[in-house]
């Protein structure tokens, strides 16, 4: 058999992930998806850290938020000064 016959008869190799590697990547992706938090600054200089981005009502009169400790609140939109990602340098200033 010549080298050309050997190369042409070879089947292509499909790269595969090991189960442990796949599970580690899946766990890392799931963990990183929940890392974004938001700081909401209020008119009385209060600040709340939210797990998810606050959702504004359809009529725009209030926000529904879920805090870091799992409690859900509604806050009038007139009391909200700014909403920025947690840890952003702009969160230190009132926009």
State the pLDDT at residue 50. 80
Does some domain include residue 64? yes
H-helix or E-strand spanning residue 7: helix 3-9
State how many domains the chain has: 1
> What pLDDT, in 10s, does the model give residues 40-76?
888 998 888 887 788 899 998 999 988 768 888 899 9
H-helix or E-strand spanning residue 9: helix 3-9
Strands 38-42 and 47-50, by their bridges, are: antiparallel
> What pLDDT, in 10s, does the model give residues 16-28?
767 888 788 777 7
Look up the CATH number of the domain holding residue 59.
Answer: 2.30.30.100
Distances (CA, A) of 75 to 18, 70, 82, 83: 48, 16, 13, 13
Does some domain include residue 63? yes
What whole-number distance in Å separates Cα of residue 63 and Cα of residue 10?
62
Indicate whether 84 pLDDT > 70.
yes
Does some domain include residue 77? yes
Which of 1-15, 59-73, 77-91 is the most confident on average? Answer: 59-73
The domain of 57 spans 37-87
């Amino acid at each position: 058999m010549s080298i050309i016959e050997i190369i042409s008869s070879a089947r292509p190799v499909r790269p595969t992930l090991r189960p442990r590697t796949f599970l580690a990547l899946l766990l890392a992706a799931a963990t990183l998806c929940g890392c974004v938090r938001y700081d909401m600054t209020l008119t009385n200089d209060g600040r709340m850290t939210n797990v998810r981005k606050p959702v504004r009502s359809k009529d725009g009169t209030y926000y529904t938020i879920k805090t870091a400790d799992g409690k859900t609140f509604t806050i009038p939109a007139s009391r909200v000064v700014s909403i920025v990602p947690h840890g952003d340098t702009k969160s230190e200033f009132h926009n």
